[in-house]
Amino acid sequence: MTHQQRILNTISRTNMDKFPVQFDFTPTALDRYAEYRHLSHSDSSMLEVMDNHIMFAYLNDGMGKLKTRAFKERYVYDEWQVRWDMAQEGTFFDTHPLEDIENYSTYVFPSSEDPELLDYANGIIKKYSDEYLVASYQALSMFERAYSLRGFENFLMDLACEPEFANELLDKITAYQVRVAQRYVQAGVNAGRIGDDYGSQRGLMMSPNMWREIIKPHIAQVISVYKQAGLPVIFHSCGDIHEIIPDFIEIGVDILHPLQPESINIEQVAEEFGDKIVFYGGISNQKVLPYGTPEDVKYSVKNLFDIFRRNGKGFILAPSNGIGSNVPPENIQAMLDAAEEYRYF
């Protein structure tokens, strides 16, 4: 069975031999683990060691260049004219081109027709799409992109006090993302992957009704491009998004990432939705991986498999976000060993 087929079988809950796994790293963490195991940094080497199932076809955009280590400077501007500070492992937005609303009338939105936008993605599709689930990578796709332009507080105020403007801005972002999704489909990806964070550690960043009225219709348009092409959709949204999981199911999300145990009661959502959507993540990247013992890590992995065996089997084991450099290599190895020991049906 190919890795791609195992993911598709997990979505359909048919002919399942074992749970899929997906272990993604920050560049610094990957360097550290590769040194620990005396491995090369090639995609093929890491795929073999991790037994990963998904390959991401990054765009030749700001986020894609971050993922592929193309940036060397501390401060970089992406195609939306947002400045990123690269000094920390996580990176963050440093300036916002539409922080002053007076700039909106002269702001030039990026072109979704950039002929080089899918150069890296095309190579990944050609090399890996027969064996692995090659997914698009549309990060910061809607809400996050809007607040990267306006600033976080400003865009929350736009949503509350200037909904017409908020919708207008989101319409322009949506047009860009829809066209990028169409180009991904034409290029031959096996799945769509869309990212947009809506949750904090203790709830949504806005009311569920506000999200449903303003954000949901826009993100649904992007999802529909992949669904109309018959492709599964992975959606990434950090934090406590429990209240809107039914909405994700409604608009066609097949796989929901990252399932952070500090934010969501994993057993509860597995019981409620485990037969309706595939959950992807679950291993604590805040506590167990960086600060637990190898035995703690092994217990966490086994417990996650046990929960989803009881609740629909729709699960892809992964850390609850990219593994950071604060995770001891011994704990990474314990995670891999436990995954191999306990994942079989």
Distance CA 80, CA 96 (A): 9
Return the DSSP state at 247: H
| 85 within some domain | no
Name the burial class of residue 165, with classes exposed (0-12), middle (13-18) and buried (19+) by CB atoms within 10 angstroms of its CB.
middle
Q: Is residue 92 in a domain?
A: no
Length of the chain: 345
Asked, for residue 88, whether it belongs to a domain, the answer is no
- Give phi and psi for 221, each to the nearest 5: -65, -40
- Cα–Cα distance between 192 and 181 in angstroms, integer? 8
Per-residue pLDDT of the chain (345 residues; tens, 9 = 90+): 999 999 999 999 999 999 999 999 888 888 899 889 888 766 666 778 899 999 999 999 878 777 776 667 788 889 999 998 877 777 788 899 999 999 999 999 999 999 999 999 999 999 999 999 999 999 999 999 999 999 999 999 999 999 999 999 999 999 999 999 999 999 999 999 999 999 999 999 999 999 999 999 999 999 999 999 999 999 999 999 999 999 999 999 999 999 999 999 999 999 999 999 999 999 999 999 999 999 999 999 999 999 999 999 999 999 999 999 999 999 999 999 999 999 999
Q: How far is residue 118's CA from residue 57's CA, in Å, rounded to a whole number? A: 8
Q: Is residue 43 part of a domain?
A: yes
Domain membership flag for residue 95: no
Domain of 141: which CATH number? Answer: 3.20.20.210
pTM above 0.75, yes or no: yes
Q: How many separate domains does the chain show?
A: 1
- Give domain status of residue 179, yes or no: yes
Q: How much is the pLDDT for 276?
A: 97
Q: Which two tokens stand for residue 313?
A: 């089997």
Q: Is 315 exposed, middle or buried (0-12, 13-18, 19+ CB in 10 A)?
A: buried
Q: What is the pLDDT of residue 43?
A: 63
Q: Do residues 109 and 172 touch, judged by C-beta distance below 8 A?
A: yes
Q: DSSP readout, 135-182?
A: EE-B-S-SHHHHHHHH-HHHHHHHHHH-HHHHHHHHHHHHHHHHHHHH
Cβ contact 285:323 at 8 Å: yes
Whether residue 146 lies inside any domain: the answer is: yes
Query: Which letter does DSSP use for residue 88 in this model?
Result: S
pLDDT score for 41: 66
pLDDT at 8: 98
> Helices marked H in the chain — which ranges?
3-12, 27-37, 43-50, 62-67, 119-128, 143-150, 152-161, 163-187, 208-210, 216-228, 245-250, 266-273, 288-291, 294-310, 329-342
Contacts of residue 277, defined as CB under 8 A and 6 or more positions apart, other chains included, come to: 245, 248, 249, 253, 254, 255, 256, 314
In this structure, which amino acid lies at residue 111? S
Question: Is residue 95 left, alpha or beta, with left meaning phi > 0 and alpha meaning psi from -120 to 50?
Answer: beta
Domain range for 216 is: 3-73+101-342
Domain-embedded: residue 206 = yes
